[in-house]
């Protein structure tokens, strides 16, 4: 649809989920390309253009850099040639814009008004209203941002000094310099040099996947049809379920809860006999490797037991009432009708969407690990058929997501990269073992041989994640 050359689009760009709201109101040329709109948003919001991005229209069309969709599978429309006016035709229409697939900064773009020729008095683009400062880069998403603000503002907070060293001495979430935003918009071309060797962030290595496929995989690892076949042989997977320690442990716990449930200890833990039964079912060498050195005395000493119990609870299978842990009636019916395969899929989905992975270790920050972890499924499909060093997978994760270490809080005894590696091992690899998706070579599985560990994918993984 042709547009009068002197009209202007008034758009509102809002950072989704932020409370209080963070947004910008902009005037742009209707003929602005999506490539330039990306740049305008980066400058106006205060981002640093150091991560991938993607536009999505209301009908699901993807608009982005075709170089990031080299095989054409995602059918990107080229952001360099598509004008905004070709997509936003009328007032009230909206777009979705995501920046940094690790932290997952999602924005809503709404065409508020198509201004008349008479309304144009200044050079465009121009920001006419700005509310609140955008979060720092690599802070770990909205959850990490709120934790950052809490630590920044409270001098008694244990992380107060660390976050000030990381971010600087001053961060006022309410401060916005509208005049500076418009000055930067006028000079934005200098921020985005065409020569990729000058000023551009290093390219991520996704080992054969396009950024769009990576985005789909990270958004929903159980439903990413451009990477893995969403259909699998349920009968064959059912036969493999008991190879997953979490299923063997869940069966023991569910059986113990039948009837009157399990009376918890005064601290709210499972009684020791149930903990030991779950450890025995899961396999002591895998779920409680330290038991060979020190006897198990409490649920608190066995992470695998805690994770199994917590995942069942937040997946909606159990409830705690008056000190008793019991199986929900609806869950019992679901289990009878759908079987343990449905339980496994529920636990797997819950592990990615609702479990707080930081609870598995003592490392602050690094929330991006949970978001980027599904990429390891692709790595396992690529190379997991043979024993390979676990460190090789960690290398590949850091090549694909080089920003991960940037979210670590500085400590004197460990570099940011070492923190990221340790957290990848203690969170991602630990959870994947519990879910039965990876296995360690028994010759190198002991904790003391951690640096020599080699790993591979399991038959259960191959049943659940079949490449297209």
A 10 A CB-CB count for 436 gives: 24
pLDDT(200) > 70: no
| Cα–Cα distance for residue pair 188/444, rounded to 1 Å | 53
User: pLDDT tens digits for 366-416?
Assistant: 878 888 899 999 999 999 999 999 999 999 999 988 878 877 877 778 888
Could you read off the pLDDT of 278-328 as tens digits, one per residue? 999 999 888 887 777 788 889 998 999 999 999 999 999 999 999 999 999
Q: How far is CA 465 from each of CA 146, 309, 438, rounded to the nearest angstrom?
A: 35, 25, 12
Q: Which residues contact 381 (CB under 8 A, 6 or more apart)?
A: 228, 457, 465, 467
Look at residue 1 in the predicted model and tell me its pLDDT. 39
Q: Which residues are within 8 A (CB) of 55 and not within 5 positions of it... i.e. 6 or more apart?
A: 34, 37, 38, 62, 63, 64, 79, 95, 96, 97
Contact at 8 Å (CB) between 390 and 429? yes
Structure tokens at 48: 């640093």
Would you place residue 203 in the very low, low, confident or very high pLDDT band (cuts 50, 70, 90)? very low
User: What is the pLDDT, as a whole number, of residue 468?
Assistant: 78
| pLDDT > 50? residue 249 | yes
User: C-alpha distances in angstroms, 443 versus 175, 283, 387, 403, 426?
Assistant: 57, 16, 11, 33, 20
Q: Using the structure block, give the residue that is written with the tokens 């969407």.
A: 353
Q: Identify the H or E element spanning 303.
A: helix 303-314
Q: How far apart are the first and last CA of the chain?
A: 39
Give per-residue pLDDT as tens, 70-105. 555 667 788 888 889 889 988 999 999 999 888 889
């Amino acid at each position: 649809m042709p547009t009068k050359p002197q009209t202007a689009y008034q758009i509102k760009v809002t950072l989704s989920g932020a409370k209080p709201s963070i947004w910008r109101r902009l005037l742009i040329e209707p003929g602005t390309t999506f490539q330039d709109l990306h740049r305008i948003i980066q400058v106006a919001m205060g981002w640093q253009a150091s991560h991938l991005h993607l536009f999505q229209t209301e009908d699901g069309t993807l608009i982005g850099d075709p170089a990031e969709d080299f095989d054409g599978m995602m059918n990107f429309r080229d952001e360099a040639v598509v004008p905004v006016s070709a997509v936003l035709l009328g007032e009230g229409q909206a777009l979705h814009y995501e920046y940094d697939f690790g932290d997952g900064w999602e924005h809503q773009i709404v065409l508020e008004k198509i201004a008349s020729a008479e309304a144009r008095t200044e050079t465009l683009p121009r920001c006419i209203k700005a509310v609140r400062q955008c979060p720092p880069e690599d802070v770990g998403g909205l959850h990490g941002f709120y934790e950052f603000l809490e630590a920044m503002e409270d001098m008694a907070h244990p992380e107060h000094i660390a976050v000030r060293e990381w971010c600087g001495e001053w961060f006022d979430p309410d401060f916005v310099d509208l005049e500076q935003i418009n000055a930067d918009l006028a000079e934005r071309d200098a921020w985005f040099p065409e020569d990729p060797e000058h000023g551009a962030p290093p390219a991520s290595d996704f080992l054969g996947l396009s950024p769009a496929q990576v985005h789909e995989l990270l958004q929903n690892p159980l439903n990413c049809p451009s990477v893995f076949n969403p259909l699998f042989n349920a009968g064959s997977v059912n036969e493999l379920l008991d190879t997953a320690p979490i299923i063997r442990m869940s069966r023991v716990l569910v059986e113990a809860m039948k009837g009157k449930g399990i009376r918890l200890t005064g601290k709210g833990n499972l009684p020791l006999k149930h903990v030991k039964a779950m450890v025995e079912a899961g396999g002591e060498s895998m779920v409680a490797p330290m038991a060979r050195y020190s006897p198990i005395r409490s649920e608190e000493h066995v992470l695998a037991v805690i994770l199994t119990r917590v995942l069942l609870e937040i997946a909606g299978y159990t409830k705690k009432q008056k000190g008793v842990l019991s199986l929900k009636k609806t869950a019992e019916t679901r289990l009878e009708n759908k079987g343990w395969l449905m339980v496994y899929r529920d636990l797997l989905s819950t592990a990615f969407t609702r479990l707080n992975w930081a609870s598995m270790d003592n490392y602050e920050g690094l929330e991006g690990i949970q978001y980027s972890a599904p990429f390891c499924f692709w790595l396992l499909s690529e190379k997991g058929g043979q024993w390979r060093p676990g460190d090789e997978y960690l290398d590949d994760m850091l090549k694909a997501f080089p920003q991960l270490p940037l979210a670590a809080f500085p400590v004197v005894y460990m570099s940011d990269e070492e923190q990221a590696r340790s957290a990848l091992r203690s969170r991602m690899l630990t959870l994947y073992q519990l879910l039965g998706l990876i296995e360690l070579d028994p010759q190198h599985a002991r904790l003391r041989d951690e640096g020599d560990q080699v790993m591979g994918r399991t038959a259960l993984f191959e049943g659940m994640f079949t490449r297209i």
